[in-house]
Amino acid sequence: MKRLQNFTFRKMAMTCVMLLLSMSLFAQSHIDLNPSNAKGVQSSNMSMKGFNATFSINSIEAGNVNTEKGVFSILSFNNSIPSGEAGSPQLPVIRELLAVPFGSTPVVTIKNYTTKEYKLSEYGIEKVYPNQPSVRKDINPEDVEFVYNAASYNARFYNERPIAEVEVLGTMRGIQIGTLQVNPVSYNPSNNTIRVYNDIEVEVTFNDADIQLTENTLINTFSPYFSIVYQQLFNNRAIQDVYDDHPDLWMSPVKMLVIANRMFEESMQPWIEWKTMKGIYLDVNYTDEIGTSSADIKQFIKDKYDEGVAAGQAPTFVVIFGDKDQVAPSTNSASETHMVSDLYYGTVDDDYFPDMYYSRMSAETTAQMDAIINKILVYEQYTMPDPSYLNNVLLIAGADSYWNPLVAQPTINYATTYYFNEEHGFDNVYAYLNNYTGCYEHLNTGVGFANYTAHGGDTSWADPSFTVNDVHNLTNTGKYFWAMGNCCVAGNWGYSSECFAEAMIRAEEKAAFGYIGSVPNSYWYEDYYFGVGATSQVNGQMPLYENTTMGTYDAMWIDGMYNTLSSTAFVGNLAVCYATESGYEISVGPLYYWEAYHVFGDGSVMPYRTQPVVNDVSHLPTLPIGVSTYSITAAPGSYVGISKDGILYGAGMIDETGTTEIPLTPITSGGDVNIVVTHPQYEPYIVTVPAAALDGPYIVCKGVDLKDENQQADYGETLSFDMVLENVGTETANNMTVTLLTESEYVELLNSTASVATIENGSTYTIEGVFDLSVNVNVPDKESVVIYVNVTDGTDVWESRFTLTLHAPKLNINAISATANLAAGSEGVMTIELANNGTSPAYNIVADVFSAAQNIEFETISYTVEVLAAGETAVVEAPFRVSDDTGIGSMFEVAVSANAGHYGAEASYQIMVGAIADDFETGDFSKFDWTFENYDWTIDNENYHSGTYSARSAQISNSQTTSMKVSVEVLAEGEFSYYYKVSSEENYDVLLFYIDGNLMDEFSGSIDWSMATYTVTPGIHEFKWTYSKDGSVSSGEDCAWVDDVKLPASFVVLSLDPVTNLTADVEGNTVDLTWTGIAEAAHYLVYRNGEQVSEQSSTTFSEALADGIYTYTVVAVNNEGVMSRPASVTVNVGTVDVIEIEEIQFSVYPNPVNGILNINADACYEYSMMNSLGQVVMKGVASGSEQLNVSALEQGVYFLRLVVDKNVIVKKILVK
């Protein structure tokens, strides 16, 4: 799928190139920034807590433009959009749309970056082009003023914006939507220099996020039809993780809310019947009952949506039946377009992001509604006489002497280059770029899609002209298409008579079944982005696929996505959102486009791209009465609807195996059952089967019941289960043998056969206490296992299956921190937060810490958390001591691993000892070798960031400067930081900061104490602060202050690379370890479950052990005592059951408990009670019976741990 890259040149010079006769685009220039290390955009650690991302720019492109104000250059790079106030220098930025959890205040932290300055004249680049407003299509280009802000070009400093910033925009169906904007380019007009921040590493954290509310809302608003929308979000992975945890969501029917005028009730019935057959649950409502005003309808829709969210059945679609006089618009005068709009029926929280897809079947008469519905049914049910016309397409770049070559032709060229061509299955691509003779005749001969982009009128596509009368004169009976008009007002359904879009869908047995278009006047570049996606390639260039975000053309061609007319328009508007920077009145803005573009017809229709293929569907020839599931085989991702007599009994999605049991409300009477299977770009499968009892006996598996305390199959468990068989046939079944089979490597069927004497027809039989299975100790969490059920009576064979979800821990190291401000010989604590993100408890977690150097010595390297419940966290505190001979400014890497059997996680952390810093608390400049230029800085004891002193710039006069600088040797790459404060004439008297003569930052005006940080590389560097005044005017205290200057670490010890290919072979009870060593190693330390068991000079180790699960860790050590990061492997020795031990008989009761908990066991044992964080709240030693008084414990889940002869038994206890 096309990733949403964020780069738009929404307002390049040619927005005004055609506005001013003197303008022309010429020479191109190029600056290589990172030519040998093309990284682009990288992301990691996506979750509802936040993510990390790196943005790297490989080059900057510049195109020169001649204007009435002289020659300017437009700067761009991949993934950029233009930024800036109208008339001010236009600078490229990166913009991403984000999913933001509810309750969250997103915060972006800059973790790292590089900077470099470029004098543009050295690259043949002129002054940076001034940003220009959007241009509406109905405006004559000669009437638009070229905007130039002279004051912004007189500035003698770099523009100041955060390197990265985040903002929350609104809510879109189950999730908040925000933006991350990265501003990698600053510009100083006075010397025509840019500063480029590159390889920008950011961490976005969602502080105070209500993750549970967010996940619940996403679950309750789930719809497969919105997947294509969520994929436009930069951190979509966090949403998909929620859905992956709930595969049952795909078995819920899609919901549709219908709002109609009662006059259309009879006309709607064939459509209602078809949508029900497709598997869509319809909630049909009429305005004579819910109210006729916009306010009534809006409140009704909002109430329905809120009820749906609460019940986990939020509507996906809102379909409105009637024109404006039959069903009122959501507003007659939208806030931005001042025209009719249905946007506020689709959004329930009054922002511009819809929560449901909305569309309007705009008809004034029942005859018009009949015509609309008939065309939809022919198209969706695939009953057209000759579907080959779907392999033809009509694409028109409309006439405009200025904009046709700049926008319209590149739009159509993009479409034909990437999608609408022979390679994608088209027989005829009718693309018209400037000569339009006979173009509309193809609508008669047959096309599947027609797209026009240019000028429009209320009743026409303007040039080449195609009017409402022309629509009604079409002759394409049985060859209905869908159309998109990227033009002005052709979709104005608030017009006094039939608009062009309405004519398209109303024309009887001709024209279109659906139309996407704008109600008000549209804009040139915004329509461009709507189609091809936001891009920096404009002004006659065809945009490259990799240099655009997703537009409507791209959305049509994502395989497997449930892309509808409504989602196509939705994606187009999201592209406009990508191309629009918040805070500047430069663009028409996304709200205008959300209010503008509408879907005419049924927005839930999935258009065929070309002639579809046959879906290979199979199932029983009848549907047995009374069954609760029905097995269907079809292409993965197919949507199944099962209905009878106009009632939907079951719906669901075919999973990746291609065969799925569709859950049913049991059908209890005979008759015809409709089965409809739909899938994008497949022919619909529509059949009728009888609902009847099957001839003879017919046995199906009705379900299983796990005989387990928590009703789930956990790792390492051996458990039994009961199975319910049902005879859905017409005769009794006798003398049956039941056999279970599985192909899974993660379960073993211990007892997989059973005998059943008799099951009468219409009856069930439960096989109790026969079947057992064992779950492996290394199963991945939430692994789905298919178990096949084979039943035979010696003559007939009946096959069923059921799916079992296996559960396990999933360990993660959430965070690591350590005591700050350490000194040589001091003690500290490293704090490690462990998390179990799985669905089973983790037992006996061993957390190991390995310092790369002996300067950091931990009290012990191994720490144990006895139990960590699913979804919980635990904190491990590891005390350490810094050796006496450790130098100030030293940094040491510590590797951390956490293992619980086969489940583990790794991380590392760097502990800093002391800091090379000057806080000026000596009361002078003696700590570093400070020097001054022109005038000496002074020590100030009235303004300071910390302590009681800071450095203050000298008192100087107009047109003078004063500098403070220091040269130091940096031994390892790291962070340089300082705090600054400024009180000066804004924009004219400035504090400048240089590294090695390169200007890095400048600050002016009134700025309170703030921190500045920079990444510096090894070597000798000069750091200089200069306070500079212009020729007149003084403001504030007319100075700057600097405090707490901090240098990177002077000595860094990183861990060695770990050993590789660590393997463990088990023969009987003997474990043989082998690994590939590293060249630096002098010897290797071998640990077992956190305890050192050997020091090896070779790369092998062997020992004999008792039965159990063991985690081995191997660490390399060099001659200087520097250690490697650990490598680990977990093995099973003998027969292992991590939770239950059959030899020990014990009972614990009552459970739940609110007073006395009784323990009865036939052995001596140690016991401990732990809360969900792994903290021991009660412990002791007992033999036989023991009573524990738990009345003082808080309500919740606890774990009782019994230790008997080195065997461990754990039981979950609920204290009420």
The parent domain of residue 862 ranges over 809-914
| 3-class state of residue 199 by DSSP | strand
Phi, psi of 284 (to 5 degrees): -95, 130
Q: What CATH number is associated with residue 669?
A: 2.60.40
Tell me how far apart the alpha carbons of residues 680 and 424 are, in angstroms, rounded to a whole number.
Answer: 15
Which pLDDT band, with edges at 50, 70 and 90, does 1158 fall under? confident
Secondary structure of residue 2 in the 3-state scheme: coil
Residue 855 included in any domain:
yes
**Which residues, 6 or more positions from 262, have their beta carbon under 8 angstroms from its beta carbon?**
286, 287, 288
Q: How far apart are the first and last CA of the chain?
A: 50
pLDDT (0 to 100) of residue 13: 30
Q: What is the mean pLDDT of residues 192-220?
A: 92
Same domain as 640, residue 654: yes
1191 shares a domain with 1127: no
| Whether residue 948 sits in one domain with residue 880 | no
Q: ω before 1150 within 30° of 0 (cis)?
A: yes
Q: What is the pLDDT of residue 1144?
A: 54
In a domain, 840, yes or no: yes
The CATH number of the domain holding residue 1094 is 2.60.40.10
Write down which residue in 691, 709, 734 finishes a domain. Answer: 691
Say which range, 113-117, 215-219, 303-307, 1138-1142, has the weakest mean pLDDT. Answer: 1138-1142
In this structure, are strands 449-453 and 392-397 parallel, antiparallel, or unpaired?
parallel
By the 10 Å C-beta count (0-12 exposed, 13-18 middle, 19+ buried), 1020 is classed as exposed
Confidence of residue 215 (pLDDT cuts 50, 70, 90): very high
Distance CA 11, CA 74 (A): 10
Q: 930-970: per-residue pLDDT in tens?
A: 999 999 999 999 999 999 999 999 999 999 999 999 998 88
Give how many domains the chain has, as a whole number.
Answer: 8
Q: How sure is the predictor about 519, in pLDDT bands with cuts at 50, 70 and 90?
A: very high
Cα-Cα-Cα-Cα dihedral of 32, 34, 40, 46, to 10°?
-150
Whether the pLDDT of residue 971 is over 80: the answer is no
pLDDT above 70 covers what percent of the chain?
94
State the angle between helix axes of 366-380 and 265-278 in degrees (0 to 180), rounded to the nearest 10: 20
Q: Give whichever of 363-377, 1004-1018, 1104-1118 has the largest mean pLDDT.
A: 363-377
pLDDT confidence tier of residue 81, bands split at 50, 70 and 90: confident
- CATH code of the domain containing 945: 2.60.120.260
β-strand pairing of 1108-1117 with 1176-1189: unpaired
**Mapping DSSP to helix (H, G, I), strand (E, B) and coil, where does residue 862 land?**
strand
Say whether both 1080 and 995 belong to one domain.
no
- Residue 379: both structure tokens together: 């198209």
Q: What are phi and psi of 763, to 5 degrees?
A: -115, 165
Is residue 614 assigned to a domain?
no
Which pLDDT score is estimated for 999?
84
pLDDT in tens, 890-902: 888 899 999 988 8
Residue 154, C-beta contacts closer than 8 angstroms, at least 6 positions apart? 189, 190
Q: What is the CATH number of the domain that holds 30?
A: 2.60.40.3800
Q: Give the range with max mean pLDDT: 768-772, 794-798, 1178-1182.
A: 768-772
* CATH number where 1156 lies: 2.60.40.3080
Q: What's the rounded mean pLDDT across residues 229-247?
A: 90
Contact 49, 205 (CB under 8 A): yes
Residue 6 is assigned to a structural domain of this protein: no
Shared-domain flag, residues 843 and 896: yes
3-class secondary structure, 826: coil
DSSP summary character for residue 1089: T
Answer whether residue 394 is part of any domain. yes
Is residue 1042, in this structure, part of any structural domain at all? yes
CA-derived radius of gyration, the chain: 35
Residue 821's CB: how many other CB atoms inside 10 A? 10
- When pLDDT is averaged across residues 818-829 and rounded to a whole number, the result is 88
Distance in angstroms (rounded) separating the CA atoms of residues 829 and 502: 71
**Region at 962 (left for phi over 0; alpha for psi -120 to 50; beta for the rest):** beta
Q: How far apart (Å, rounded) are the C-alpha atoms in residues 1009 and 980?
A: 5
SS3 632: strand
In this structure, are residues 1160 and 1147 in contact, taking their beta carbons and an 8 Å threshold? yes
Phi, psi for residue 280 in degrees, rounded to 5: -100, 130
Regarding whether 680 and 716 lie in a shared domain, the answer is no
For the beta carbon of residue 658, count every other beta carbon within 10 angstroms.
15
Q: Are residues 176 and 261 in the same domain?
A: no
619 given a catalytic annotation: no
Please report, for the domain that includes residue 378, its CATH number: 3.40.50.1460
Q: Are residues 552 and 638 in the same domain?
A: no
CA distance 687 to 970: 76
**What pLDDT, on a 0 to 100 scale, did the predictor assign at position 17?**
34
Are 206 and 197 in contact by the 8 Å Cβ rule? The answer is no
Say how far apart CA 1023 and CA 965 lie, in whole Å. Answer: 5
With 50 as the cut, is the pLDDT of residue 1139 above it? Answer: no
Reported as a pLDDT band with limits 50, 70 and 90, residue 35 is low
Residue 22: its pLDDT value, please? 32
Distance CA 589, CA 522 (A): 11
Distance of CA 528 to the CA centre of its chain: 26
User: From residue 1144, how far is each of 725, 776, 867 by CA, in Å?
Assistant: 34, 21, 21
Q: How many CB atoms lie within 10 A of CB 1192?
A: 8
Asked if 871 and 753 sit in the same domain, the reply is: no
Show which of 741, 774, 807 is a domain's final residue. Answer: 807
Q: Are residues 592 and 659 in the same domain?
A: no
Average pLDDT over residues 839-850: 91
Q: Report the 10 Å Cβ neighbour count for 1193.
A: 18
Residue with tokens 């005591």: 819
Residues 440 and 402 in one domain: yes
Of residues 766 and 1, more confidence is placed in 766
- pLDDT tens-digit series, residues 409-447: 999 999 999 999 999 999 999 999 999 999 999 999 999
pTM score > 0.75 for this model? no
- Catalytic residue chosen out of the listed positions 16, 487, 488, 499: 488
Residue 1 inside a domain? The answer is: no
Give Cα separations from 893 to 755, 824, 851, 852, 912 (angstroms).
62, 16, 6, 6, 9
Query: Which is nearest to 532 in space by CA: 501, 562, 557?
Result: 557
CB–CB of 537/545 below 8 Å? no
Element (H, E) at 254: strand 254-260
pLDDT score recorded for residue 233 = 94
pLDDT higher than 70, residue 37: no
Give the whole-angstrom CA distance, residue 598 versus residue 273: 25
Which pLDDT value is given to residue 1171?
Answer: 67
- Does an H or E element contain 78, and which? none
Last residue of a domain, one of 670, 691, 712: 691
The pLDDT tens digits of the residues spanning 873-882 come to 999 999 999 9
**Sign of torsion, CA 285 289 291 292?**
positive
Q: How many CB atoms lie within 10 A of CB 841?
A: 27
Least confident range of 111-115, 535-539, 1026-1030: 535-539
Of the candidates 587, 577, 594, the one whose C-alpha atom is nearest the C-alpha of residue 519 is 594
State the DSSP H helix or E strand holding residue 489, giving kind and residue range, or none if neither.
none
Structure tokens at 334: 């939208």
| Alpha carbon distance 920, 944 (integer Å) | 10
CA angle 5, 9, 12 (to 5 degrees): 170
Q: What is the largest CA-CA distance in the chain?
A: 108
Instruction: Please give the pLDDT value at position 871.
Output: 86
Summarised one tens digit per residue, pLDDT across range 664-686 is: 988 888 899 999 999 999 999 99
Cα–Cα nearest to 632, from 566, 580, 685, 581? 685
Q: Across 203-212, 538-547, 700-709, which has the greatest mean pLDDT?
A: 203-212
Average pLDDT over residues 1008-1013: 90
Burial of 49 (C-beta count, 10 Å sphere; 0-12/13-18/19+): middle
Q: For the chain, what is the mean pLDDT?
A: 89
Indicate the DSSP class of residue 913.
E
Q: Please name the residues in contact with 661: beta carbons below 8 A apart, sequence gap of 6 or more.
A: 629, 630, 631, 801
Residue tagged active-site, from 16, 439, 442, 455: 455
Counted residue by residue, the chain has a size of: 1216
Q: What are phi and psi of 883, to 5 degrees?
A: -65, 155
**Is 1039 one of the annotated active-site residues of the chain?**
no
Nearest to 371 by CA among 174, 510, 517: 510
Confidence bin at 9 (pLDDT 50/70/90): very low
Predicted pLDDT at 966: 94
Residue 1077 forms part of a structural domain? yes
Mean pLDDT of the 1157-1177 span: 75
Burial 260-274 (b: 16+ CB within 10 A, else e): bbebbeebbeebbeb
Same domain, 869 and 986: no
**b (16+ CB within 10 A) / e for 81-107:** bbbbbbbbbbbbbbbbbbbbbbebebe
Classified as helix, coil or strand, 885 is: coil
- Which positions ≥6 away from 232 have C-beta within 8 Å? 4, 97, 549, 550, 571, 574
